[in-house]
């Protein structure tokens, strides 16, 4: 299978690309930090999913190597931590431009090729954050919610052309690259959200550092791609994260909010008097 994959230089993208290569597939991997070379069983090319010219160049390179594209895997993404009030529109746009519009650009470049060959598989990395919100990740959460809705529309539109769509929804994994996890400019030491931010992001960091095995996730994605009929959703998360999604769907909003707030911030202390 000829696999084109974005965001393959680090994090879950790297582990997924390596899993495809180890499984014997032809992997054409793109990332902003790549230069043109072959390494670790993959063909690597520079790719910036926010730039149309970069996407066109990547597609031309990939076509020269593989001829066809059997599977397109979207892993490019960034994350910015900050309070909703103190995240600028430019910072929201930066995250959306990579995490959501980057997928849209790549799909619009590759879908004509898949339609012409009468088949293809598109794997889009969403997140547990595409299903529920957590504090101080509003830009990333909004982008992943957009990916979820977009993917549902896309699957209905392309199925008659022999094209399948799969949403991968990872929970916390030990793979995050700090280069793609910045803080918003408004999160300064004297921010009114400072105490909550430190507690909430401390919990987020702990969960990531103690998350699941990213190599296992890569193997799960490869296995799903090799099926004749891919699952539309592939959730790879710990049992408690599966439970969190379930509770989010069935509990009253006020109760779900109370549970998540307690988890990220701890119990609210009662004031004297």
pLDDT digit string (tens) for the chain, length 273 residues: 999 999 999 999 999 999 999 999 999 999 999 999 999 899 999 999 999 999 999 999 999 999 999 999 999 999 999 999 999 999 999 999 999 999 999 999 999 999 999 999 999 999 999 999 999 999 999 999 999 999 999 999 999 999 999 999 999 988 765 554 578 887 787 889 999 999 999 998 888 888 889 999 999 999 999 999 999 999 998 898 989 899 999 999 999 999 999 999 986 544 443
* CATH code where residue 134 lies: 3.40.50.720
pLDDT score recorded for residue 34: 96
Q: Is residue 254 part of a domain?
A: yes
- Based on the residue annotation, tell me whether 140 is a catalytic residue of this protein: yes
Catalytic-labelled residue, pool 92, 121, 127, 140:
140
Helix, strand, coil shares of the chain, percent, nearest 5, are 50, 20, 30
Residues contacting residue 139 through CB under 8 Å, at least 6 positions apart: 79, 80, 82, 87, 91, 92, 94, 95, 96, 184
pLDDT score recorded for residue 184: 83
Q: Is residue 271 part of a domain?
A: no
Residues contacting residue 75 through CB under 8 Å, at least 6 positions apart: 5, 6, 7, 8, 11, 12, 13, 16, 17, 125
Q: Is residue 272 part of a domain?
A: no
pLDDT score recorded for residue 272: 42
The answer to whether 118 and 238 are in contact (CB under 8 A) is: no
- Chain centre distance of CA 141: 10
Q: Which domain holds residue 72?
A: 2-265
Q: Is residue 171 part of a domain?
A: yes
pLDDT score recorded for residue 188: 81
Q: Is residue 228 part of a domain?
A: yes
Question: How far is the C-alpha of 51 from the C-alpha of 141, rounded, in Å?
Answer: 23
Question: pTM for the complete prediction?
Answer: 0.92
Six token digits for residue 239: 């049992």
CB-based burial label for 131 (10 Å; 0-12, 13-18, 19+): buried
Q: Is residue 197 part of a domain?
A: yes
Catalytic-labelled residue, pool 144, 150, 193, 264:
144
pLDDT score recorded for residue 211: 81
pLDDT score recorded for residue 271: 41
Catalytic-labelled residue, pool 66, 126, 127, 175:
126
- Based on the residue annotation, tell me whether 150 is a catalytic residue of this protein: no
Six token digits for residue 195: 């105490």
pLDDT score recorded for residue 76: 96
- Based on the residue annotation, tell me whether 264 is a catalytic residue of this protein: no
H runs (alpha helix) in 118-158: 138-158
- Based on the residue annotation, tell me whether 92 is a catalytic residue of this protein: no
Report the domain count for the chain: 1
Catalytic-labelled residue, pool 9, 127, 138, 175:
9
Six token digits for residue 113: 């090729």
The angle at the Cα of 26, spanning 25 to 31, to the nearest 5 degrees, equals: 115
Q: Is residue 270 part of a domain?
A: no
Q: Is residue 155 part of a domain?
A: yes
């Amino acid at each position: 299978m000829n696999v084109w994959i974005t965001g393959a230089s680090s994090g879950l993208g790297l582990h997924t690309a390596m899993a495809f290569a180890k499984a014997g597939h032809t992997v054409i991997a793109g990332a902003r930090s790549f230069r043109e070379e072959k390494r670790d069983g993959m063909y690597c090319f520079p790719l910036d999913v926010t730039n149309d010219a970069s996407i066109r160049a990547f597609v031309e390179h990939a076509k020269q190597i593989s001829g066809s594209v059997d599977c397109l895997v979207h892993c490019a993404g960034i994350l910015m931590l900050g309070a909703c009030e103190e995240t600028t529109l430019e910072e929201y746009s930066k995250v959306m431009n990579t995490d959501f519009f980057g997928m849209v650009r790549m799909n619009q470049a590759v879908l004509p090729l898949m339609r012409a060959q009468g088949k293809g598989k598109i794997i889009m990395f969403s997140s547990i954050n595409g299903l529920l919100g957590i504090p101080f990740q509003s830009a990333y959460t909004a982008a992943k919610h957009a990916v979820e809705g977009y993917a549902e529309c896309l699957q209905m539109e392309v199925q008659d052309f022999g094209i399948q769509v799969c949403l991968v929804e990872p929970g916390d994994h030990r793979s995050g690259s700090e280069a793609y996890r910045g803080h918003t400019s408004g999160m300064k030491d004297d921010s009114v959200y400072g105490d909550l931010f430190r507690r909430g992001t401390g919990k987020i960091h702990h969960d990531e550092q103690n998350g699941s095995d990213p190599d296992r996730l890569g193997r799960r994605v490869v296995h799903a791609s090799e099926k004749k009929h891919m699952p539309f959703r592939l959730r790879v998360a710990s049992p408690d994260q599966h439970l969190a999604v379930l509770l989010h769907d069935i509990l009253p909003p006020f109760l779900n909010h109370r549970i998540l707030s307690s988890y990220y911030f701890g119990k609210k202390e009662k004031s004297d008097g």
